[in-house]
């Protein structure tokens, strides 16, 4: 009998232990890989904010037979011979396409700071304040508009930086150290891309600068990451110190251009005082006869970034030119049908609807819908083995389109000021959290449609999958009970339409010719 | 966290059977997570006896600990969690008992609330446990008993654990080992202590990214393991018809993160809770095999848990599967 008991216990224990072994990755599990293309003429592509690839000048490199270069090679070999296991891990982590790593770092910071400030004991709310970032509440609140903007500026700086790097690489054609000295073994797949200036260093410095501006409390953390990354560039055998220094110089230049635009793009006025917010609401009430109300307890006096719709767009001059048609009147049959639809979905919640609502929710405390699409893009970039320049191009256009779509969406949200389902349906309950801004159109729908269109353009074989996912992300909000179906469908059209302006730009940037 | 305690018999050394469903105090289910059914008392039921139990538990909280900060939150207002708990205990041998349980839980916020979230409901975790009595002997002016239990529980339905504070459970398999020591004086007083370790597995969320002091690119959330400790003082009264107990229970996760400011809890949280409770159980002389129980528990201190109070009552019925309702004889 005792044996049987022990066997039973053992069996239970083994079942349990088996369920214990789960892989819980902290970042995309890819390593350095061979690029499908080197894009030798990438320096001629049209940058976003710079005049051209030649606009940022760097000193001509020392020749590879100069004594100073040979000394740099020696310095590199010395460093490589004494690598600690920690350093080896860092080289493996950063890979030869580190833009994805910095993108993941941005997503992590977004998730860390995507916390909505709670009420004070007296029922008031305190907003995060960039001049007192420690708070409380800490600055920033990395909500979707904040997140999409941070990602756009970082990706644009990276793309501009690499066009500049490619220009100088193929101007100076200084071969990589591992191609000049056979005793140096490159940590990744060999390629023929010249090493001066270091593209990795451009990415490290540009990313660190943008993210430090966007997440000021993380300055020290970002500096440590940059130092580790720059060191790993040399330890990989790919760059000597002068390659890295030149890359850093370009990184500084492109990030300061990007941050200068950011300082004056209107974002600092997006979160309005209550008086402005009230007048926006009153205008909608006068115009349409309805207005969205915040239903939180205590009530939040101002919705999220009422003037985000006034932020400068990347590829569109006039946000009103892409404003969608008005939503249905509150006494129209279309509206009443939607009330019925939402009640039906809520009453007959299926496992599949719940799964979709949760999968695309990307709510508070997460990387937001723009972050979700960056993660999808990162996975495609690795799958299609894009080189660093193509990687930044993909992310730059996608994040520009996402930000433009968000600006357009916010324009519609506060222009139409349309009520949420919980406001219009008595006793209605949801499985997703209702956000602090008007309903029409759905941010998830617009962000996702825009992202999916750019990804469909860059990865035509994935087009139908990307669009299907965007539609699923859109309808997920209806399943979640926080959006009307027309918020989702019109939002999807809106996102596709807005993205087209950025895609039109991409078609003529030189990469596709 | 609720604690439900049942004894099927007024004489614990006879055909008595007590269940204690150790709540794993997950914010999820507002602390009334009945997922780790680990009978952790010192009572044994005799071979071939079966005890069935049915209870109703009402848990409620309007404050919770966000990390170590006790706070309220009008987004969720007051959260109620009601549980129906059917259980059965089977005496394999006099010294070896088997337990099975399956709670049904329903959660909801009071109105008005600022979040307008739908509550959740459903069957939670099916639990199995084996209890073995290793020592049962006279010592001084009483009796010393030592036992060990091994338990296993796993979600019975696909309820969503990543839906705090409405989720009805932690959504993860659990294996537990518990040691129990009790001393009962001849005058009916007893004191009991138990220590357990809970190995929890992973729960699967419906999203494949979450933040837990950094990014996780997976739907799997690691539910932290935990230690539990319990101390109980009790007494049998009215010719062993009535049993009264005072209890202190504590649970401490061995890892995990804190709930972030004004943010929802998640299954990865580090959970700590101290709870005190009182229970009374009465066995009818006129209705052979029937008993009733009532109890009240309060969480008095915690971390990342609701400040839950719960009250419950239940009925128990014990019978002998061979000779129905035979009069038990006192083995002493």
pLDDT at B7 (0 to 100) = 47
For chain A, what is the radius of gyration of the CA atoms?
Answer: 25
Q: What is the average pLDDT value for chain A, to the nearest integer?
A: 96
Interface of A with B in 462-501 (CB under 8 A): 481
Estimate to the nearest angstrom the gap between the alpha carbon of A349 and the chain centroid: 31
Determine the Cα–Cα distance for residues A109 and B215; give it in Å rounded to an integer. Answer: 9
Q: pLDDT-based confidence at B4, cuts 50/70/90?
A: very low
Residue A188 in contact with residue A95, Cβ under 8 Å?
yes
Residue B214 in contact with residue B194, Cβ under 8 Å?
no
State whether residue A104 sits within 8 Å of chain B by CB. yes
- Residue B331 is assigned to a structural domain of this protein: no
- Residue B297 is assigned to a structural domain of this protein: yes
Contacts for B92-97 with beta carbons within 8 Å, 24 or more apart?
B92/B47, B93/A1, B93/B47, B94/B44, B94/B46, B94/B47, B94/B133, B95/B44, B95/B132, B95/B133, B95/B134, B95/B136, B96/A1, B96/A5, B96/B130, B96/B131, B96/B132, B96/B133, B97/B17, B97/B39, B97/B44, B97/B45, B97/B130, B97/B131
- Strands B121-123, B104-109: pairing kind: antiparallel
3-state SS record for A349-371: CCHHHHHHHHHCCCCCCCCHHHH
**Stretch A198-202: mean pLDDT, rounded?**
98
3-state SS record for B204-249: ECCCCCEECCCEECCCEEECCCEEEEEEEEEEEECCCCEEEEEEEE
Instruction: Clarify whether residues A218 and A277 are in a common domain.
Output: no
pLDDT at A2 (0 to 100) = 58
Q: What does the buried/exposed string (b/e) look like for B297-322 if buried means 16 or more CB atoms within 10 Å of the residue's CB? A: bebeebbbbbbbbbebebebbbbbee
Estimate to the nearest angstrom the gap between the alpha carbon of B280 and the chain centroid: 16
Looking at the 3D structure of chain B, how many domains does it have?
A: 1
- Residue A17 is assigned to a structural domain of this protein: no
**Stretch A113-138: mean pLDDT, rounded?**
96
- Which one has a higher pLDDT value, A9 or B305? B305
Determine the Cα–Cα distance for residues A154 and A148; give it in Å rounded to an integer. Answer: 10
- For residue A124, the SS3 value is coil
Chain segment A301-318, per-residue pLDDT in tens: 999 999 999 999 999 999
Sequential DSSP letters for B82-125: EEEEEEEEEEEETTEEEEEE--EEEEEE-SS-SS-B---EEE-E
CB contact under 8 A, B75 and A13: no
* φ, ψ for residue A468, nearest 5 deg: -65, -40
For chain B, what is the radius of gyration of the CA atoms?
Answer: 20
Q: What does the buried/exposed string (b/e) look like for B111-126 if buried means 16 or more CB atoms within 10 Å of the residue's CB? A: eebbbbbbbbbbbbbb
Q: Is the pLDDT of residue B223 over 50?
A: yes
pLDDT at B287 (0 to 100) = 87
Least confidently predicted of A12-16, A491-495, B42-46: A12-16
Q: Is the pLDDT of residue B307 over 70?
A: yes
Estimate to the nearest angstrom the gap between the alpha carbon of A154 and the chain centroid: 9
Tell whether omega for the bond before A232 is within 30 degrees of 0, i.e. cis.
Answer: no
CB contact under 8 A, A429 and B118: yes
Residue B230 in contact with residue B245, Cβ under 8 Å?
no
Instruction: Clarify whether residues A118 and A141 are in a common domain.
Output: yes
Instruction: Clarify whether residues A278 and A210 are in a common domain.
Output: no
CB contact under 8 A, A12 and B175: yes
Beta-bridged to residue B281, according to DSSP, are B243, B293
Instruction: Clarify whether residues A368 and A237 are in a common domain.
Output: no
Closest by CA to B38, choosing from B201, B229, B167, is B229
Question: Which residues in chain B touch residue A107, judged by CB atoms under 8 angstroms apart?
Answer: 215
- Residue B271 is assigned to a structural domain of this protein: yes
Determine the Cα–Cα distance for residues B31 and B310; give it in Å rounded to an integer. Answer: 9
Reported ipTM: 0.94
- For residue A329, the SS3 value is coil
Chain segment A51-66, per-residue pLDDT in tens: 999 999 999 999 999 9
- Which residue of B lies nearest to A5 if distances are taken between CA atoms? B130
- Residue B48 is assigned to a structural domain of this protein: yes
Instruction: Clarify whether residues A213 and A350 are in a common domain.
Output: no
pLDDT at B42 (0 to 100) = 79
pLDDT at B285 (0 to 100) = 87
Q: pLDDT-based confidence at A17, cuts 50/70/90?
A: low
Looking at the 3D structure of chain A, how many domains does it have?
A: 2
Closest by CA to B288, choosing from B247, B248, B243, B318, is B318
- Which one has a higher pLDDT value, B33 or A330? A330
- Residue B11 is assigned to a structural domain of this protein: yes
State whether residue A4 sits within 8 Å of chain B by CB. no
- Strands B4-7, B189-200: pairing kind: unpaired
Beta-bridged to residue B145, according to DSSP, are B136, B182
Which of A27, A297, A481 minimises the CB distance to B74?
A297
Closest by CA to A197, choosing from A252, A259, A258, is A252
Q: Is the pLDDT of residue A71 over 60?
A: yes
Q: Within a 10 A sphere around the Cβ of B289, how many other Cβ atoms? A: 20
For A408, the domain range is: 271-507
Which of B77, B132, B217 minimises the CB distance to A28?
B217
pLDDT at A387 (0 to 100) = 98
Determine the Cα–Cα distance for residues B110 and A298; give it in Å rounded to an integer. Answer: 16
Closest by CA to B300, choosing from B277, B329, B326, is B277
CA–CA distances in Å: residue A222 to residues A58, A227, A228, B139: 25, 9, 10, 66
State whether residue A26 sits within 8 Å of chain B by CB. yes
CB contact under 8 A, B116 and A429: yes
Question: Which residues in chain A touch residue B110, judged by CB atoms under 8 angstroms apart?
Answer: none
pLDDT at A34 (0 to 100) = 97
- Residue A195 is assigned to a structural domain of this protein: yes
pLDDT at B40 (0 to 100) = 62
Domain termination residue (choose one: A209, A229, A263): A263
- Residue A15 is assigned to a structural domain of this protein: no
CATH number at residue A421: 1.10.606.20
Residue B80 in contact with residue B46, Cβ under 8 Å?
no
CATH number at residue B301: 2.40.160.40
Determine the Cα–Cα distance for residues A138 and A48; give it in Å rounded to an integer. Answer: 32
CA–CA distances in Å: residue A148 to residues A130, A448, A459: 18, 12, 21
pLDDT at A22 (0 to 100) = 82
Residues sharing a CB contact under 8 Å with residue B311, sequence separation 6 or more, in sequence order: B57, B58, B294, B295, B296, B297
Determine the Cα–Cα distance for residues B112 and A196; give it in Å rounded to an integer. Answer: 64
Chain segment A208-251, per-residue pLDDT in tens: 999 999 999 999 999 999 999 999 999 999 999 999 999 999 99
Determine the Cα–Cα distance for residues B27 and B203; give it in Å rounded to an integer. Answer: 14
CA dihedral A42, A56, A51, A409 (to 10 degrees): 80
- Residue A493 is assigned to a structural domain of this protein: yes
- For residue B55, the SS3 value is strand
Question: Which residues in chain B touch residue A112, judged by CB atoms under 8 angstroms apart?
Answer: 211
Instruction: Clarify whether residues A221 and A289 are in a common domain.
Output: no
Q: Is the pLDDT of residue B5 over 90?
A: no
Sequential DSSP letters for B249-294: EEEEESS-BPPPTT----TTB--EEEEEEEEEEEE-SSSTTEEEEE
pLDDT at B2 (0 to 100) = 36
Orientation of helix A388-416 relative to helix A274-288, angle to 10°: 70
In this prediction the pTM is: 0.93
Instruction: Clarify whether residues A288 and A191 are in a common domain.
Output: no
Which of A15, A119, A355 minimises the CB distance to B206?
A355
pLDDT at A9 (0 to 100) = 61
Chain segment B124-147, per-residue pLDDT in tens: 999 999 999 999 999 999 999 999
Question: Which residues in chain B touch residue A23, judged by CB atoms under 8 angstroms apart?
Answer: 218, 220
- Which residue of A lies nearest to B201 if distances are taken between CA atoms? A20
Determine the Cα–Cα distance for residues A418 and A44; give it in Å rounded to an integer. Answer: 46
Degrees (nearest 5) of the Cα angle A404, A405, A406? 90
Determine the Cα–Cα distance for residues A363 and A376; give it in Å rounded to an integer. Answer: 17
Which of B112, B215, B222 minimises the CB distance to A107?
B215
Instruction: Clarify whether residues A316 and A410 are in a common domain.
Output: yes
Q: Is the pLDDT of residue A6 over 80?
A: no
- Which residue of B lies nearest to A17 if distances are taken between CA atoms? B201
pLDDT at A40 (0 to 100) = 97
pLDDT at A91 (0 to 100) = 98
Q: Which helix (H) or strand (E) holds A445?
A: helix A443-458
Residue A362 in contact with residue A370, Cβ under 8 Å?
no
- Residue B332 is assigned to a structural domain of this protein: no
- Residue A326 is assigned to a structural domain of this protein: yes
Determine the Cα–Cα distance for residues A403 and A144; give it in Å rounded to an integer. Answer: 9
**Stretch A470-496: mean pLDDT, rounded?**
98
- Residue A295 is assigned to a structural domain of this protein: yes
> What's the first-to-final CA gap in chain A, in angstroms?
79
CB contact under 8 A, B152 and A12: yes
Interface of A with B in 155-184 (CB under 8 A): none
Contacts for A17-21 with beta carbons within 8 Å, 24 or more apart?
A19/B173, A19/B201, A19/B202, A20/B199, A20/B201, A20/B202
Which of B115, B116, B215 minimises the CB distance to A111?
B215
B141: Cα within 13 Å, side-chain hemisphere: 5
Beta-bridged to residue B69, according to DSSP, are B66
- Residue B32 is assigned to a structural domain of this protein: yes
Q: Within a 10 A sphere around the Cβ of B62, how many other Cβ atoms? A: 17
Q: pLDDT-based confidence at A491, cuts 50/70/90?
A: very high
State whether residue A296 sits within 8 Å of chain B by CB. yes
Q: How many helices (H) and strands (E) does chain A have?
A: 18, 0
For B77, the domain range is: 4-320
- Residue B326 is assigned to a structural domain of this protein: no
Degrees (nearest 5) of the Cα angle B156, B42, B309? 55
Q: How many helices (H) and strands (E) does chain B have?
A: 0, 22
Determine the Cα–Cα distance for residues A346 and B118; give it in Å rounded to an integer. Answer: 9
Q: Is the pLDDT of residue B10 over 80?
A: no
Residue A152 in contact with residue A397, Cβ under 8 Å?
no
**Stretch A343-368: mean pLDDT, rounded?**
98
- Which one has a higher pLDDT value, A368 or B27? A368
Determine the Cα–Cα distance for residues B159 and B243; give it in Å rounded to an integer. Answer: 36
- Residue A420 is assigned to a structural domain of this protein: yes
**Stretch A150-179: mean pLDDT, rounded?**
98
Q: Within a 10 A sphere around the Cβ of B2, how many other Cβ atoms? A: 31
Determine the Cα–Cα distance for residues B3 and B55; give it in Å rounded to an integer. Answer: 11
Domain termination residue (choose one: A210, A245, A263): A263
Question: Which residues in chain B touch residue A119, judged by CB atoms under 8 angstroms apart?
Answer: 74
Domain termination residue (choose one: A263, A282, A304): A263
CB contact under 8 A, A366 and B209: yes
Question: Which residues in chain B touch residue A481, judged by CB atoms under 8 angstroms apart?
Answer: 118
- Residue A25 is assigned to a structural domain of this protein: no
Closest by CA to A349, choosing from B220, B78, B158, is B158
pLDDT at B18 (0 to 100) = 28
Instruction: Clarify whether residues A214 and A304 are in a common domain.
Output: no
Residue B296 in contact with residue B319, Cβ under 8 Å?
no
């Amino acid at each position: 009998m005792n044996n049987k008991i022990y066997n039973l216990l053992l069996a239970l224990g083994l079942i349990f232990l088996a369920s214990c072994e789960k892989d819980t990755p902290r970042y995309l599990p890819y390593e350095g890989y061979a690029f499908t293309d080197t894009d030798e003429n990438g320096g001629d592509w049209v940058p976003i904010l710079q005049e051209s690839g030649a606009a940022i000048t760097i000193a001509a490199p020392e020749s590879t037979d100069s004594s100073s270069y040979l000394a740099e090679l020696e310095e590199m070999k010395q460093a490589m011979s004494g690598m600690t296991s920690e350093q080896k891990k860092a080289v493996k982590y950063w890979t030869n396409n580190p833009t994805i790593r910095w993108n993941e770092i941005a997503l992590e910071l977004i998730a860390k700071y995507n916390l909505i400030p709670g009420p004070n004991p007296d029922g008031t709310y305190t907003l995060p304040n960039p001049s007192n970032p420690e708070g409380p509440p800490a600055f920033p609140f990395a909500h979707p508009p904040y997140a999409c903007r941070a990602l756009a500026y970082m990706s644009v700086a990276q793309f501009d930086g690499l066009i500049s790097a490619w220009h100088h690489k193929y101007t100076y054609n200084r071969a990589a150290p591992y191609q000049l000295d056979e005793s140096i073994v490159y940590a990744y797949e060999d390629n023929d891309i010249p090493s001066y200036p270091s593209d990795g260093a451009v990415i490290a410095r540009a990313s660190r600068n943008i993210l430090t501006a966007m997440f000021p409390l993380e300055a020290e953390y970002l500096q440590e990451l940059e130092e580790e990354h720059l060191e790993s560039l040399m330890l990989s055998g790919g760059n000597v110190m002068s390659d890295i220094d030149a890359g850093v110089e370009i990184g500084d230049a492109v990030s300061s251009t990007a941050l200068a635009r950011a300082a004056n793009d209107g974002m600092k006025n997006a979160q309005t005082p209550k008086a402005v917010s009230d007048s926006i609401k009153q205008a909608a009430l006068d115009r349409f006869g309805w207005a969205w109300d915040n239903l939180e307890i205590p009530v939040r006096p101002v919705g999220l970034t009422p003037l985000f719709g006034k932020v400068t767009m990347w590829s569109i001059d006039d946000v009103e030119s892409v404003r969608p048609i008005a939503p249905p009147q509150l006494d129209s049959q279309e509206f009443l049908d939607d009330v019925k639809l939402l009640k039906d979905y809520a009453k007959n919640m299926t496992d599949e609807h719940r799964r979709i609502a949760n999968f695309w929710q990307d709510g508070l405390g997460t990387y937001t819908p723009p972050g979700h699409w960056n993660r999808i893009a990162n996975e495609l970039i690795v799958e299609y083995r894009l080189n660093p320049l193509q990687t930044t191009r993909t992310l730059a256009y996608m994040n520009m389109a996402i930000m433009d779509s968000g600006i357009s969406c916010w324009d519609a949200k506060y222009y139409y000021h349309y009520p949420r389902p919980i406001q219009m349906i008595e006793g209605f309950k949801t499985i997703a959290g209702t956000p602090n801004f008007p309903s029409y159109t759905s941010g998830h729908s617009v962000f996702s449609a825009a992202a999916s269109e750019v990804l469909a353009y860059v990865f035509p074989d994935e087009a139908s999958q990307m669009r299907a996912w965007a539609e699923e992300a859109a309808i997920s909000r209806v399943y979640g009970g926080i959006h009307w179906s027309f918020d989702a469908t019109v939002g999807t059209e809106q996102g596709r339409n807005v993205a087209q302006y950025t895609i039109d730009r991409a078609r003529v940037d030189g990469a596709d010719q | 966290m609720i604690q439900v305690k049942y004894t099927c018999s007024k004489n614990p050394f006879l055909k008595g059977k007590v269940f204690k469903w150790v709540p794993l105090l997950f914010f999820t289910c507002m602390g009334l997570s009945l997922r780790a059914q680990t009978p952790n008392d010192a009572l044994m039921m005799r071979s071939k006896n079966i005890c069935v139990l049915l209870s109703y538990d009402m848990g409620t909280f309007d404050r919770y600990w966000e990390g170590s900060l006790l706070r309220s939150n009008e987004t969720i207002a007051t959260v109620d969690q009601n549980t129906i708990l059917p259980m059965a205990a089977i005496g394999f041998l006099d010294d070896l008992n088997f337990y099975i349980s399956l709670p049904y839980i329903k959660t909801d916020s009071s109105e008005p609330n600022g979040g307008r979230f739908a509550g959740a409901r459903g069957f939670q975790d099916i639990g199995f446990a084996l209890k073995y009595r290793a020592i049962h002997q006279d010592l001084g002016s009483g009796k010393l008993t030592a036992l060990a239990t091994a338990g296993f529980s796993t979600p019975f339905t696909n309820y969503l654990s990543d839906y705090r504070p409405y989720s009805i459970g932690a959504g993860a398999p659990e294996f537990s080992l518990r040691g129990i020591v009790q001393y009962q004086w001849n005058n009916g007083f007893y004191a009991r202590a138990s220590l357990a370790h809970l190995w929890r597995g992973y729960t699967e969320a419906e999203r494949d990214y979450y933040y837990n002091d950094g990014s996780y690119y997976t739907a799997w959330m690691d539910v932290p393991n935990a230690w539990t400790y319990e101390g109980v003082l009790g007494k049998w009264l009215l010719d062993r018809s009535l049993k009264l107990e005072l209890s202190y229970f504590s649970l401490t996760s061995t890892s995990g993160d804190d709930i972030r400011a004004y943010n929802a809890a998640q299954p990865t949280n580090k959970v700590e809770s101290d709870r005190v409770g009182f229970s009374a159980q009465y066995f009818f002389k006129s209705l052979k095999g029937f008993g009733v129980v009532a109890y009240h528990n309060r969480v008095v201190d915690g971390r990342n848990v609701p400040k839950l109070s719960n009250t419950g009552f239940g009925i128990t019925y014990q019978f002998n599967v061979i000779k129905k309702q035979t009069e038990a004889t006192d083995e002493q």
